[in-house]
Chains A and B, each alone.
Chain A
Amino acid sequence: MENFFIGIVILVFGAFLSLFVKNQSIKLKLVTLGALVGSIFALFSALSALFVGNYEYTLHFGTIFPNVRFVLDNLSAFFVVVISVMSTLGVIYSNGYLKPYIEKGKDLSAHCIFLPMLLASMLLVVTVQNALTFLIVWELMSLSSFFLVIFEHEKAEVIKSGIKYLVYMHVSVVFIIAAFVLLTINTSSFDFAHFKAVLANDNYIADIVFILAFIGFGIKAGFTPFHNWLPDAHPAAPSHVSGIMSGVMIKTGIYGILRTLDIIGTPSAKLGFFVLIISTISALYGVLYAICQHDLKRLLAYHSIENIGIIGMGIGVGMIGLTYNCTPVAVLGFTGGILHVLNHSIFKELLFLAAGSVYVKTHTRDIEILGGLLKSMPKTGALFLLGSIAICGLPPFNGFISEFLIYFGMLKGLTINHFIVFIAMILALAGLALVGTMAILCFTKAFSIIFLGEARSENASKVKEDNSSVFILPMAILGLFITFVGIFPEVVFDVLTKPASIFVEIGDYSNITNLMQIISFVSLGLLIAIVFLHILKSKIYKNVENHVTWGCGYNRANPYMQYSASSYASPFISTLTPLFKRVADIKKPKAVFEGEAHYSLHMEDVEEAYFLQPVISAIEKFLTGFEKIQNGNIQSYIMYGLIFLVLALAGVVALG
């Protein structure tokens, strides 16, 4: 455990040291070094916690925080592994991504302080076992990520998204505080271990606490009714920050939910269904809106909501398994959900980094004006393809393994022999299948519009890949992780039973391991067959004739005649019209030969349009009533003071 704290200290020290350096590029390198070394220390201690034995450490900070326990149990250690590895890769990538900003003379001081702060606070969030300290580091995490989001604060929309994010995070914290307060007044302690001891025999409090904590942590994680900050904050932030936030930081919300689950013990039946339903809706909602986005990073942000939903489905299935005392269901659900935490952090970060590389080169996030980038950026393109396949949950890559475990858990759940469980599992199964196919639709769209065909704009046609290792290496490492988890799932599953063992007695799982081995065999065979046949084909058919694409006899096709992202998604979206708020921006040509005309269509989030906006405007209306009191008129303020004094005097006199 000392190693862990040394890691944290190194991280913070790196941030501190960067204050004294003038050169922006060296500043960033210093932070990267700090993050790298610090993460290695944290990773080392987490791995030894997973494989050797758990650690516990108590710190004493004076009278307010007499005993603050830090624990690296299996669950915490797993999250520390995810946080340290994925964040460090993001920080390394930032050296490449921020280069153009440094050249433009942008000051990176704030960025260089808050990036390691975010890492350190995330590491502390998943280890601290004391409610009060937890809230402090949680707040530290939210604030440092807020400052990272508003990196380009000179842009108005960035500030707007940043403020939205900040507001959401503080609503989230209110719910978490409420949950902790409930726990503390029942236990008169701040320690998670004491919470656990008391809650074991009080189901009623446990239910309320869990729901409060789920909403609080769910806002951070991005479950559906609370997701609205995600699609705004991610496009606003620099790519490596979006990668870290989406890949890692929102997982602290999942950690919070899992930790609460650990505290409340066996959940009551309604909680399992509650989580499963919310998660299924999140997954569907996320992917549905991802399909109609043209902004690449917004699209990826909506996919985060989808994947958080899938993780939640795994947890929900696991909880139902716990409630109905069906171990295989619980084991499969929890391992599936937790593995998806790891998987999502890998491929989502890869996709955000690849999106960042595209943005650096083309200066646009609008996929409608890209195209043909696979030829000019072959490595980024191939890695984006890898990430796309993985995020769709397709074999032979990692997303499939976690989705398969969740599916298998649902199938096992069908045999619990309980009517409601049967209905829930069948619908969740269909929901997950629908999410999978919609993800295929979404990512074939994203990948092919960006990387295939011909360039749709001047910018996109002149791109040249930056081969420097700070760009390629982090993505390549993530790509390796994707392939490793996909091809050797039995190894990964074996490790994953450790964090899952916090919730459920694992027992004998050799049949799942066998299944994983067969999947591993099939995946490997599939990959080898594809590569072999491809080589064979290109060896045999060397004589290839080149020609333009068939255009129905028309040989002068131009790039604008290609299918666009909107047209690709259109058949699907048009069948689901009621689920969107369509906002069309039309400029019709008025005269006969008028040149200018414009049409664009945007899908707005219905949750924002029909739920959030009315609520906000109602609150605004209520609060504007107070404007009459706070009118900026110094005379009235003096009068208020006078009235208060008179009332106070009268009160004192009346009360004697």
Chain B
Amino acid sequence: MTIPEVFFIDLLTIVGLFVIISMSLNLEFGYAGVPNFGKLLAVAGGAFFVGAVPGRIMMFILSPGSGLDFVQNNIEAVMLLNQVFASDALASIIYLVFSLVGAAVAGGVLGYVASYPAIRLRGDYLAITLLAMAEILRVIADNWPEFIGGSMGVRIPDPFRWVGGETRALAVAVTILAVVAIVFVYLELVLRSPLGRALRAMRDEELSAEVYGKDVARLRTKTLMVGCAIAAVGGALYSFLTASVSARDFNRVTHTFWPWVMVIVGGAGNNVGALVGAGIFVTLRKFITFYKSYFEPFVPFDVVWLEYLLLGLALIVVLLYRPEGLVPERPTKTLRRKELLEIAERVRSEASSK
């Protein structure tokens, strides 16, 4: 593959990952108005699940007599499993699908548990609780070596090994984009369903939604569980991309703050906005990383920090001057366009005949 191809595939992969995460945040914040300030919790949760569980199960199934512990003898264990996966496409795919589904379940459970204490209170309590929970999960993973190798992290078996060589990157990209497509279609369907309308009613006027018999706490729990499940799949895919999991890879800035910037800048409440936001954001960052070495000699600090500064400023400017984002939310149509036009025509003719 040529260098531009590699660059392009890499870009698509990272954009895809962030689209998954920001679409999940869009479901929570854009549709339902739930301020999930602990996006990191679900993303890291999904990745940690992939680091802790599937490898151990695979070791148990494929080589029960080896006596190797997945985390303690990580390198040997992963080598052993990779040998199996290199020749067995079916086993690889089963492993991949099982891991993603497992991560989604783990994410949903995390979302339920972490939001439970504050789900009935005003959203700011929920935001604080989720933020704190996310930090605690990171602290635990970083300090508990038996879980995912502590601060060292673990390698995980690579389900794309059978593809092999240069095409591996392409296979990962295609897998991620396929997940993006599934999540996108699913969320669009949710948006057009009665559930989607209930969520937006809750977001716009909680009291009215309650008056009309919507159980707000239940809707919030549901939203957070689904949102966290989707974000966890994003985290799991990230670990398959790097074929490793480490608590140090996950932090509040990358996995909570960035998705918020993407959703707000792109436009909350619609999935195209999340897509556009993630696209612009990741592309910009790639260029910043690319060009930052030119600035390095002139400033007495690490250029990375300027990026934080710019993103913080950009977010505040968008909040102040274009709160609807680049792609504003549009009212969803409950009927087909053609039927709506017909109704409009009928109303108009009735009015003129009177």
Q: Do A and B come from one complex?
A: no
B interface residues with partner A (beta carbon < 8 Å): none
Interface residues of A (CB under 8 A from B): none
